[in-house]
Amino acid sequence: MSLVREVKTRRARYSLRIRVFFAVTLAALSLPLVVFFVSQLERNAPGALWQKTLDATDETALLVEAYAEPTEARVAVIADKYKARIRVVARTENAPTIDVDRDDPRDAFNPLEAFFFFARSSATSKDMDPATPVLAREETSYAIERGLYIDCFREELRVCRAVRAPKDREDRRWVVYVDKTSGRAVEEVYFVRRTLLRLSLVTVPLALLLGAWAARRVTLPIENLRTEALAKVSSESPGADLTEHADEVGDLAEALNTLLGALAERRAANEAFVADVVHEMKSPVAAVTAIAEALEGPVDDARRERLARALSESAKKLDALVTQFLELARAEAGMPREERDDVDLVSLATEAVERASVDPRYAAVVFETHATPKKQGPEGTTVRGVRRRLEALVRELVDNAASFAGEGGKVHVAIERATEGEGVALHVTDDGPGISAPDVDRVFERFFTTRGEKRGTGLGLALVHAVATAHGGRATASSPVHDGRGTRFTITLPRDGASIPAAKPSEKHS
């Protein structure tokens, strides 16, 4: 294993443990982290309040200086802009006082802070305004003497107050008095943060221990399951017996057990397949061996001719066996690398019936066909599949039905829309002796036949079943069909390449 791959493997192996550790640790530390981030937001709140109050005061003072007399409408624009209470008071008695109150201590963060830090207040700057007249206040005197007064303090709310004493264009003297409040829970947040910082001396170590414990508890069953699964690699017959638990790891173990069971079944099927191949080849191989031994000695022309015919028949049988075994193996594997295109089942059925009708073996058999009405269009009987495989499927069913129908018998081939959604159904029916009930379930098994000693390879119907399954369809057989005779084989294939649902037990022999 390369160094890069080893590093990736280690990272992948421990990534779940690390992620669980960090997830649990972050969850345990979430409250201190939230308070910390909120405190960073609150850190700028006092400075922003101070700056907005000063800007509102300066802008109002410039307004007074720009006009002969300020108006309430112009002041209201500034008050709305800064969400402040602005008073413009004349220092002489012959001018009216302007008082526009747009102060709103709440902003987008207030609901969140009110929920977490109980910073709830319905007060505004008007509730904290002194009863003393504006011109008689100390801050007004300071502003008249120094040009500007600004201060921020904390009562029920955080309040910033600024005062300027400008002159208008006619040299009249005014006082601009601005109040702005904020309901932000700055003090509460910092108090909670200081408290949590002390508590973190205990909570942080506990969070780390909890994260490590949780990560271990989560990954330990998975590691044990991995150890069990790897131990089966060296086992000759790995069983589906991984330890199951009543949790998600148990679900994973159950899924792996299902997989191991399926692999065991596939392995058994492959072993049976190989055993069948060996068994079926023994007879023609033995015949070839016997013929070869016979040819080693002196033989007359007549016997040589008989041996040559026997050798030819054995070779043909071996060739047929090998060919059908290969076809069956590929079909059971799903034919993954074979190109698929649109195939019209009606044309395949027509070709198979025409070929069988001129076959000397079936000269006395009557063939009938019935297809979907043409008004539905060819697309109604077109499926997505491998053409030569579907040709072999239809040909095998027609030949099988004709051989059982016998002299004077009938074979009926019908193609119609299936009842399962967008599927197409192919029905091949004969009026032969039928199949006994115990044998109907076995007709698609490899090497099963009811023909006795005159049987073929016994792989034809197994190939039919495998091809239908590889195309997402299903194959079923039912017998008897009418008056205690006949057999019907039905192949249901999807039109769009999807899968046809498996047949219910009650449908297999209907």
Cis bond leading into 32, ω under 30°? no
Q: Taking the CA atoms of 58, 62, 68 and 74 in sequence, report the sign of the dihedral they define.
A: negative
Tokens of 119: 């910073």
CB atoms within 10 A of CB 403: 20
Q: What type of residue is 155?
A: E
Contact at 8 Å (CB) between 481 and 487?
yes
Q: How far apart are CA 443 and CA 260, in angstroms?
A: 28
Q: What is the pLDDT of residue 178?
A: 95
pLDDT tens, 297-344?
A: 777 778 778 878 888 887 877 787 777 777 777 777 777 778 888 899
pLDDT (0 to 100) of residue 509: 41
What residue type is assigned to position 158 of the chain?
Answer: R
pLDDT at 506: 41
Question: Which residue from 404, 273, 369, 408 is spatially nearest to 328, judged by alpha carbons?
Answer: 273
Q: Residue 370: its pLDDT value, please?
A: 83
The vertex-94 CA angle with 145 and 81, nearest 5°, equals 65
pLDDT at 456: 56
Q: Which domains does the chain have, with CATH numbers?
A: 3-40+191-231 (no CATH), 45-184 (3.30.450), 248-332 (1.10.287), 341-507 (3.30.565.10)
Give residue-wise pLDDT tens across range 418-444. 765 668 999 999 998 888 888 888 888
Angstrom distance (rounded) from CA 418 to CA 476: 13
Which segments of the chain have a pLDDT < 70? 1-14, 31, 34-43, 107-122, 184-197, 236-237, 241, 244-246, 273, 372-379, 419-422, 450-458, 496-510
Please, where are the H alpha helices in 168-247? Answer: 186-231
Residue 23 confidence (pLDDT)? 78
- β-bridge mates for residue 427, sequence order: 414, 490
What is residue 253's predicted lDDT score, i.e. its pLDDT? 77
Residue of 201, 214, 197, 200 whose CA lies nearest to 22? 214
* pTM, 2 dp: 0.50
